[in-house]
Structure 1
Amino acid sequence: MRNILLFGAGKSSTCLIDYLLANAPRQKWHVTVVDHDLMLIKSKTGKSYYATPTAIDIKDQAARQQLIQDTDLVISLLPPALHIIVAKDCLQFRKNMLTASYIDPEIRKLQKDIQKAGLLFMYEMGLDPGIDHMSAMKLIHSIEKKGGQIFSFKSYCGGLISPSSNDNPWQYKISWNARNIVLAGQSGAVYREKGKVKELTHEQLFDQSKTIQVPSLGKLAYYPNRDSLTYMEAYKLENIATFMRATLRYPDFCEGWHTLIKLGLTNDTQPVATDNLTYFKWASQQLNVDKQLSNDDNMAQQLGVSSKSKIIRQLKFLGLLNGDMINMGEQTNAAVLQRIMENKLKMEPADKDMIVMMHEIEFERRNMATRMHSYMIVQGEDNLRTAMAKTVGLPLGIMAKLMLQDKVSLTGLHIPVMPEIYNPILKELEEHEIRFEESFE
């Protein structure tokens, strides 16, 4: 029996664990799920004969390395900063590794050693990054095979709340790691538009009125992701005029988030003493407060909006205009905001999330310009088997199956942009109602 070792039993792991255990009898594998929270693991694995719940501190080197030595394949759903310690162990003990996270400079340093060892470390094997790469490359290769010349590529993806559960002024609820949401866009964004490199700071990112139309959903706002330019080489589109990867949100979220950035509430560098500090004083720490005015009017005046505006409703919904005490000790603003979001924007048991992905490709073939739209909408089942967990977990599970069936000959450090990877995975994803619709203009 083959052994799979999964590090991390958080929000994104649910559907991956379901897939691995459902396939275990036929594939003859056993799954060890590792987290610091034993009860959390057991809530995901149940009483399955094919699962071993194991609680350890991931930084316990002896315990971690023993688990890695005894397995055939490692999947990491740990926080991004922790992947590297698992990766180094996998390299030492000659184990293949999968993760949904971005390739970072630390793992890049091991690239030659991974290749030399004949191992496969597949990164960016989730949703975004992951399904975005695979679906985009399938389109790109298809267009190029037919003689098309691509001159514009735009890719959008967002984890949103389903319209049926969209019941707060932020038009947002948390279906994945809350810290990642709070810190989104901190490094700004770089992309290419009409032949020119565009750079946006964190403060500029959400100050966008840019929107796209999504069939059956209507208008969604977007903001560019990180450094889009790094993927031009991976997609072999180095010379095109426009290349951008972006995140989708409902428009109201972007407007509200821009306000939180202006107030300094996403800052993750300078600690603040929060004991005996009210939420309003915390939220208005950069403002000149007029003691003659109410909290609502103070904030509205400083922001240049009406006290009845949508922005003020959003801040009130988060509890930022009341006199309650924070009492979290010394914390960064980002840490305080994260706790607020986890409390105020959490998914309730009956809530459903939604994943929306769209590629917009403009190309020329036989002197005719064509614009192609390819889009995917996935609805979650509930607050555990979310669309986010499904679209992050299933590509990892399918890739694990392909590797353990010895159907992948690739070695080295990679992202899933090659046909031998994306064709079988996208095909099986369709069996799980994860599929793309296409239109042409």
Structure 2
Amino acid sequence: MKRILLFGAGKSATSLIRYLLNITASRGWQLVVAESNLALAESKIAGHPQASAVAADVTHEESRDTLVSAADLVISLLPPALHFRVALSCLKRGKHLLTASYLDDPIRALEPQICEKGLFFLCEMGLDPGIDHMSALQLIRDIEAKGGRIHSFHSHTGGLVAPESDDNPWHYKISWNPRNVVLAGSAGARYRKDGSVVTTDYASLFERPGSVQVPGVGELAWYPNRDSLPYIPLYGLEPTRTFIRTTLRYPAYCRGWAALVSAGLTDDKTPIDAQGLSFADWSAPLRPFVHPSIAKQLEFLGCFDPGPVPASARTNADILQFLLETRLAMNPADKDMIVMIHELGFERNGGAFAAKSTLVVKGEDSLHTAMARTVGLPLGIAAVLVLEGRITLRGLHIPILPAIYEPVMAELQRQGIRFEHSVTPA
């Protein structure tokens, strides 16, 4: 009997747990959900006979090791900083590990030990990163197999509110970790454009977004996401003159967020004294950046309210996160939406062409979100493929190899995660 251990039962875990419960029911496997909030974990498994929920403090090494030792494979949906602790336990107990987070330096440093022990550690196996890598590589390899030479690459991904649930001036609602929303873009961005490396700092990132049209959705804005450059050799696109990975939002969001960043209200490093501070006091640095096109957004968010900020706030980011969680929360029946678009320019047989691949996924409600579905399903599918011996790779990986992305993308398509493709003369 196979046993899967999942650390974390938060927003992104809902669809993963539902998928794994169906798998365990049909194969006689077991799913263990380890979560600091036991009631949350129990609510997600809903008494399923092939699953159990346990209270877990992942920082406690002995209890973490005990949980890991009883599993055949471990999935971590914990905050990224905690993956390393889980990875150490997986190394110690000889267990495979899957995460949806970016491959970071601490995990990368474990690569020799992972290889030595013959284990399979797979990172970046969610939506972005994850499905973006796999779908882009399928498209890239298909173009190359038909004789195309790619000269430009744009990959856009966004977690958005669905049009039918879009009822606020930000055109945005929280469907994933709100802290990540607050800090998105704070590291700035690097990418290649027209043959040159471009570095954009945080303060400028949202000020001049790009634009893309999505059928049935309309115009979306994009801003560069993190450091695109390391993915150029990983994708085998060294000859490209333009290579940019981006985040999608509605245009109004970027306008409003640019003001918040310029005013320093997303800062999570500088301590503040929340005692006696009102929202209006807190947002005073914002006033020079307020113009008519964003005034309603900032008022809706509560930036100018006379009431007191949370007494527990330690930084500006804490206060902003509180406002996001209270003013931009999803209502129970609300639907979120995932949009992913790859735009490639290439030449073939002397002609210039543009390839476009588009994915639009809508959630069911505020619990069963498109975000949870597209983050969780790749992890669940990969876990099954590993345990059934259909992925036999060992070592430290992200999903850029056909042995990973071909079977995972095939199963995602069976699960309704499908891209629409087009190729037109440029």
Could you say whether these structures have the same fold, taking a TM-score greater than 0.5 normalized by the shorter chain as the test?
A: yes
8 Å CA contact 2:259, 2:290 repeated in 1: no
Distance 2:250 2:2 in 1: 44
Give aligned-pair identity as a percent: 50
How far off its partner does 1:183 sit? 0.4
Letter in structure 2 aligned against 1:219: E
How far off its partner does 1:239 sit? 2.5
8 Å CA contact 1:361, 1:373 repeated in 2: yes
Summarize the alignment of residues 44-55 of structure 1 with structure 2, pairs less than 5 Å apart: 44-55=44-55
Summarize the alignment of residues 26-425 of structure 1 with structure 2, pairs less than 5 Å apart: 26-284=26-284, 286=285, 299=287, 302-303=288-289, 305=291, 309-425=292-408
Letter in structure 1 aligned against 2:27: Q
Bigger Cα displacement from structure 2, 165-174 vs 319-328: 319-328
Count of residue pairs the alignment pairs up = 424
How far off its partner does 1:209 sit? 3.8
Aligned to 1:75, the other structure's residue is in SS state: strand
Match of 1:290 in 2: none
Alignment counterpart, residue 427 of structure 1, candidates 396, 407, 410: 410
Distance 2:144 2:209 in 1: 33
Aligned to 2:190, the other structure's residue is in SS state: strand
Distance 2:404 2:57 in 1: 33
Distance 1:119 1:374 in 2: 34
Aligned to 1:273, the other structure's residue is in SS state: coil
8 Å CA contact 1:205, 1:223 repeated in 2: yes
Distance 1:431 1:389 in 2: 17
Letter in structure 2 aligned against 1:81: A
How far off its partner does 1:303 sit? 2.6
Bigger Cα displacement from structure 2, 22-31 vs 78-87: 22-31
Aligned to 1:331, the other structure's residue is in SS state: coil
How far off its partner does 1:27 sit? 2.2
- C-alpha distance after superposition, 1:245-266 (max 9, x if no partner): 0000000000000011111100
Aligned to 1:271, the other structure's residue is in SS state: coil
8 Å CA contact 1:376, 1:437 repeated in 2: yes
Distance 2:39 2:283 in 1: 36
8 Å CA contact 1:276, 1:327 repeated in 2: no
How far off its partner does 1:327 sit? 3.7
Distance 1:245 1:44 in 2: 33
Q: Which 4+ runs in 1 deviate beyond 6 A?
A: none
How far off its partner does 1:228 sit? 0.2
Q: TM-score when scaled to structure 2? A: 0.98
- C-alpha distance after superposition, 1:97-116 (max 9, x if no partner): 00000000111111121112
8 Å CA contact 2:209, 2:223 repeated in 1: no
Letter in structure 1 aligned against 2:242: T
Alpha-carbon RMSD: 1.0
How far off its partner does 1:273 sit? 0.9
8 Å CA contact 2:313, 2:319 repeated in 1: no
**Given the superposition, is the C-alpha separation of residues 406 and 304 from structure 1 closer, same or farther in structure 2, using an over 3 Å criterion?**
closer
How far off its partner does 1:310 sit? 3.4
8 Å CA contact 1:354, 1:378 repeated in 2: yes
Bigger Cα displacement from structure 2, 46-55 vs 24-33: 24-33
Question: What are structure 1's unaligned runs of at least 5 residues?
Answer: 288-298
Distance 1:280 1:321 in 2: 4
Bigger Cα displacement from structure 2, 231-240 vs 197-206: 231-240
8 Å CA contact 1:5, 1:32 repeated in 2: yes
Match of 1:296 in 2: none
How far off its partner does 1:330 sit? 5.0
Distance 2:235 2:180 in 1: 25
- C-alpha distance after superposition, 1:5-49 (max 9, x if no partner): 000000000000000001112222100001110111111100101
Question: What are structure 2's unaligned runs of at least 5 residues?
Answer: none
Match of 1:292 in 2: none
Distance 1:28 1:232 in 2: 42
Distance 1:84 1:161 in 2: 32
